[in-house]
Amino acid sequence: MQSRPRIQIGISCRNLPTKLRGSYAKFSVAHGGFLHEKHVTETELQNNIASPIFITRLNLEYYFEEKQIITAEIFQCEQEDREDSHLLGFVQCTVGRVIHSGGQVEQPLISDEQQKKYLKHADPSMPTTVVVCIREDPFYKENICLKMQGFNLDKKDFFGKSDPYVTIYRRNERGKLQKCCRSEVIKNTLFPDFRPIPICLDKLCGGNIDCELYFRCFDWDGAVGDSEEVDTELDDLIGEFTTTVSDLLRADENGLEFKLINPPKKRKKKYYQHSGLLNVKLYFAQTKYSFLDYIFGGTSINVVVGVDLSNHAAAAQLSKTRQIEMAQSCNEYGVAIQAVMEILQEYDSDQLFPAFGFGSKLSTGGKICNKYPLSGDANNYFCKGMAGVLEAYRRSFDVLHLAGPVCFSPIVRDVSETAKRNKDAENYYVLLILTNGTVDDWIETKKAVIEASFLPISIIVIGIGGGNFSDMEILDQDFGLLKVGQEQACRDNVQFVQMRRFLRMAADGTDNLRWSKVALAKEVLAELPSQMMDYFERSHLAPSHTVPGQPRLLRNLADPIWWRQFTQPFSSPVRGELNTSSETKQSGMDTGRLLEEREEDQPDHPQSVVPVVQAPATQSRPLPDADPSYRLGERLTSNVHLTSVRCLSASLVGESSGPPRTTHRVPSVRSDDTNTNPKDRGNPFPNVRRQMSLGPAFHSSTSGRKLPGAYEQVSRKPSTSEK
């Protein structure tokens, strides 16, 4: 099971008053039910600096399915013990918003009248701001491969060659050896070339790159049959050696070569040298990306809401007065919308959400609507944020009567038509459907869901009430992919949750019931990151923009100076955001006959091109199969992510004239490739120095250590293929 990603949060300030001796920050991250789980830290004291960059960071796990709120308070004091501290103000933001903004958000300091007295000594021409930076901890990313290759190993079998494999150990907190990873068994060879092992540094060294790793090479005896199950107590030891992750990180692209020493043979033989050589090297897997790489790189999660307004129990038809009362109350529909969209709206650039109702009948004319805009405006069916969707839902009962049938396929195909135009890593679509019963167009719905599985779409279905949800269980595909005739879904992109499972007793001890929105959001959004990664990996899509703050070379991870700059602000901070208008975003949602007519009438209608100025840290990354003439302006869609537009200084704008350089991403990395990505070598802004950021500051050693005694490094011999 893949470990949960971890992030590091850093704080810096701009234009603080310098009258007092120093300043420091106290910041916390709250999440969970009632935000009771908190991670709090206090930075070091920065002496008399107007724009301090605090070194102390907060390291914590990232929860996509929870709302994590960052609160940073800025203090100033005169004494070292901080007893005379004065609060200057605070800022507050969410982890999701900072990550979706490219890893950095700058906000003005919020202060009351009492606190503003201390800010009057600052520069009046500039506001006092706080910069919150978030980076993904590279020690927990599985984008590093361990490659091992043996040369001239000892022969252990009487009738054949050895069957070698390598096991790596490190000592835990108790001082006992703990297995980190193991290679596969390669039979009947003395020159094994093991497959690369994807691994994260935390699993390999526990976050301490100076801890010793024990490499032990065994000969598999096959004592348990033909399977590759190994038993180190029964298998013969070929040889062993020790090294550190720090030494491996500082090695060149050829890695390091070690002598395998067999202690019993060394004690018995006077002129014993070694039992073979093992070459070990670490390198970046350039095609391996994490979920946060896509969010940092500009992927926007676009939410479309569909509300089932039908009533399957015709005898229990509600009066209009009762409908209005139900809409005004905090019913199950409102709780479900609030629980899910409160999380997902942080990952949408403009927070404009299409919201539709279906299975309803208009009060004027009595026409059944399979897709009615909850906003009431057929020309603009976007709602601003979660609050706008809730308000539009509550107003819909003034013009709608509950009726059947219930058809899912129109709204699913509607989203599919939009996703077909944006099959890149910049946009991913989530269709949230709230239903209270079965589906009447069952076959068409299954076909629409199968088609959506090949597109960047995930479907979340929340069952409201106590109806029959057997059809929804089939759509969930937990027990098999959906299939209709010869058509079959390529992946599971549907998540179904029944609302009634999240009723809880009130916390005050009364008999009242309440909804657990935190538990509902966890259940509903638990599979969304894996569904997104499944689509991106199947489609071979890289992040749309270069992920900021990532190490370019493996040796950066062993450099304390590089780690010190981990959460420093970028040289060109983001100061603005380009929001897409509802009219532009709406154009991509028109489907059906109207869409076909528009395409026939305007076949050569050019796509709108937005001028873009890119900072070095956010240089656009083309798709793997992109044409060399593929221009950046042609890739911009209606939903422009805020990291696509950077507000740079006037000098930077002047230096960045000309079309952006287009490169191709290397589809795969062999064991002999270097650790640098060819597309990241060029700097389109040569006069602007790139600032590298990322990582804990506990790596203090800068010099490589020599291997002790018999485990000395030797020059690498050419492999058989090289000979």
Q: Residue 35: its pLDDT value, please? A: 67
Across 106-115, 312-321, 346-355, the highest mean pLDDT is recorded for 346-355
The pLDDT of residue 597 is above 70: no
**pLDDT score, position 367:** 62
Counting beta carbons within 10 angstroms of the beta carbon of residue 127, is it exposed (0 to 12), middle (13 to 18) or buried (19 or more)?
A: middle
Distance CA 426, CA 566 (A): 26
Q: Among all chains, which residue has been given the structure tokens 């600052």?
A: 122
For residue 150, pLDDT beyond 50: yes
| Whether the predicted pLDDT of 691 surpasses 50 | no
pLDDT surpasses 80 at 82 = yes
Band of pLDDT at residue 404, cut at 50, 70 and 90:
low
Nearest to 182 by CA among 232, 257, 243: 232
Q: What pLDDT is stored for residue 709 in this prediction?
A: 36
Distances (CA, A) of 553 to 253, 283, 681: 10, 9, 11
Residue, of 329 and 402, whose pLDDT is higher: 402
| Secondary structure of residue 324 in the 3-state scheme | helix
Q: Is the peptide bond before 624 cis (omega within 30 degrees of 0)?
A: no
Q: Return the minimum-mean-pLDDT range out of 448-452, 509-513, 702-706.
A: 702-706
% of the chain beyond a pLDDT of 90: 35
Residue 510 pLDDT: 54
Confidence grade of residue 291 (pLDDT, cut at 50, 70, 90): very high
Confidence of residue 659 (pLDDT cuts 50, 70, 90): very low
Domains in the chain: ranges and CATH: 6-140 (2.60.40.150), 144-284 (2.60.40.150), 292-309+324-359+389-539 (3.40.50.410)
> How much is the pLDDT for 50?
86
Q: Minimum mean pLDDT among 378-387, 436-445, 478-487, 634-643: which range?
A: 634-643
Please indicate whether residue 289 or residue 286 has the higher confidence score (pLDDT): 289
Residue 367 burial (10 A CB sphere; 0-12, 13-18, 19+): exposed
pLDDT at 383: 92
Give CA–CA dist 133/93, Å, rounded. 11
* Mean pLDDT, range 671-687, rounded to an integer: 40
Pairing state between β 483-484 and 487-488: antiparallel
pLDDT number for residue 322 = 52
pLDDT band at 225 (very low <50, low <70, confident <90, very high): very low
Instruction: Give the pLDDT of residue 74.
Output: 92
Higher pLDDT, 151 or 394: 151
In this structure, of 67-71, 248-252, 552-556, the range with the lowest mean pLDDT score is: 552-556
In this structure, the number of other CB atoms found within 10 A of the CB of residue 685 comes to: 18
pLDDT at 635: 32
**What would the two tokens of residue 167 be?**
């096991």
Span 65-94, mean pLDDT?
89
156-168: average pLDDT: 87
Q: Specify the higher pLDDT residue, 511 or 550.
A: 550
- Is the predicted pLDDT of residue 280 greater than 70, yes or no? yes
Contact 578/644 with Cβ under 8 angstroms? yes
Strand 494-498, strand 457-463: pairing: parallel
Average pLDDT estimate for 151-157: 88
pLDDT of amino acid 115: 77
Under 8 Å between Cβ of 390 and 432: no
Tokens for 30, please give them.
């709250």
User: What's the rounded Cα separation, in Å, for the pair 314 and 321?
Assistant: 17
Segment holding 451, helix H or strand E: helix 442-452
Answer whether residue 483 shows pLDDT above 60: yes
**476 contacts: CB under 8 Å, gap ≥ 6:** 461, 492, 494, 495, 496
SS3 content of the chain, % helix, strand, coil (to 5): 25, 25, 50
pLDDT beyond 50 at 162:
yes
Question: Is it the case that residue 713 has pLDDT exceeding 50?
Answer: no
Q: What residues pair up with 382 in beta bridges, in sequence order? A: 354
Question: Across residues 63-85, what is the average pLDDT?
Answer: 89
The more confident residue out of 361 and 225 is 361
User: Is it the case that residue 368 has pLDDT exceeding 50?
Assistant: yes
* Predicted TM-score (pTM) of this structure: 0.73
Give pLDDT, residue 663.
38
In the predicted model, is pLDDT for residue 301 greater than 80? yes
Structure confidence at residue 183 (pLDDT): 94
By three-state DSSP, how is residue 539 classified?
A: helix
Examine the pLDDT at 99 and tell me if it is beyond 60. Answer: yes
pLDDT greater than 50 at residue 624: no
Say whether pLDDT at 695 is over 50: no
The pLDDT of residue 564 is above 70? yes
Amino acid 592: pLDDT? 40
Instruction: Compare 381 and 638 and report the one with higher pLDDT.
Output: 381
Whether the predicted pLDDT of 238 surpasses 70: yes
| Burial call 38-48: b when 16+ CB within 10 Å, e when fewer | ebebbbebbee
Average pLDDT score over residue span 188-212: 90
Cβ-count burial of 610 within 10 angstroms (0-12 exposed, 13-18 middle, 19+ buried)? Answer: middle
Average pLDDT value for the chain: 75
Given a cut of 80, is residue 615 above it in pLDDT? Answer: no
- CA dist 324 and 319 (Å) reads 9
